Amino acid sequence: MPWGCFLTNTDRFRTNNADDSEQSERPVNSMTTYKYLSNEVLAGFDKYKYSAVDTSPVSKYVTHPFWNWVVEFVPKWVAPNVLTLTGFCQLLVNFALLTYYDPHFFAASRDHPEDAPIPNWVWLVCAFNNFMSHTLDGIDGKQARRTGSSSPLGELFDHGLDSWATLFLPVALYSIFGRGEYGVGVFRVYFIVTGVMLCFILSHWEKYNTKILFLPWGYDLSQLAMTGVYLVTFLGGHNMWKFKFPVVDMNCSEVIEILMYVGFFVLTFPATFWNIYKSYRDKTGKMYGPWEMMRPLVSTFILFFLMVFWAQQSSCQVMEQQPRLFYWTTGTAFSNIACRLIISQMSDTRCELINWLLLPLVVIVTASSLLSLGQLEVYLLWTYCCLVTFAHIHFGVHVVQEMCEHFNISAFTIKTKK
List pLDDT tens digits, range 395-410.
999 999 999 999 999 9
pLDDT reported for residue 229: 93
User: Residue 52 forms beta bridges with which residues?
Assistant: 213
Note whether residue 415 is domain-resident.
no
SS3 label, residue 254: helix
To the nearest whole number, what is the mean pLDDT of the chain? Answer: 87
Return the exposure string of 22-52: e unless at least 16 CB atoms fall within 10 Å of the residue's CB, then b: beeeeeeeeeeeeebbeeebbebbeebebee
SS3 label, residue 251: strand
Return the exposure string of 118-147: e unless at least 16 CB atoms fall within 10 Å of the residue's CB, then b: beeebbebbbbbbbebbbbbbbbbbbbeeb
> CA 198, 214, 59 angle in degrees (round to 5)?
105
Q: Reply yes or no on whether the pLDDT at 75 is more than 50.
A: yes
Q: Reply yes or no on whether the pLDDT at 91 is more than 90.
A: yes
Note whether residue 412 is domain-resident.
no
Q: Reply yes or no on whether the pLDDT at 214 is more than 90.
A: no
| Contact between residue 182 and residue 252 where contact means Cβ atoms under 8 Å apart | yes
Phi, psi of 179 (to 5 degrees): -95, 180
| Single-letter amino acid code for the residue at 353 | L
How many independent structural domains does the chain possess? 1
pTM comes to 0.89
117 Cβ contact partners less than 8 Å away, ≥ 6 residues apart: 107, 108, 237, 238
Domain that holds residue 301: 26-407
Q: How far is CA 209 from the centre of its chain?
A: 20
| For residues 101-114, average pLDDT | 85
The closest alpha carbon to 360, from 403, 307, 313, 402, belongs to 307
End-to-end CA distance of the chain: 50
Note whether residue 5 is domain-resident.
no
Note whether residue 349 is domain-resident.
yes
DSSP string, 279-322: HHHTT-S----HHHHHGGGHHHHHHHHHHHHHHHH-TT-HHHH-
| Ordered alpha helix ranges (H), 211-268 | 218-236, 252-262
pLDDT reported for residue 84: 95
pLDDT reported for residue 358: 97
Note whether residue 112 is domain-resident.
yes
| Contact between residue 332 and residue 392 where contact means Cβ atoms under 8 Å apart | yes
Which sign does the torsion angle of CA 164, 170, 175, 179 carry? negative
| For residues 95-109, average pLDDT | 91
Return the exposure string of 271-288: e unless at least 16 CB atoms fall within 10 Å of the residue's CB, then b: bbeebbeebeeeeebeee
| Single-letter amino acid code for the residue at 80 | P
pLDDT reported for residue 25: 39
DSSP label at 414?
A: P
Grade residue 33 by pLDDT with cuts at 50, 70 and 90: low
| Contact between residue 412 and residue 78 where contact means Cβ atoms under 8 Å apart | no
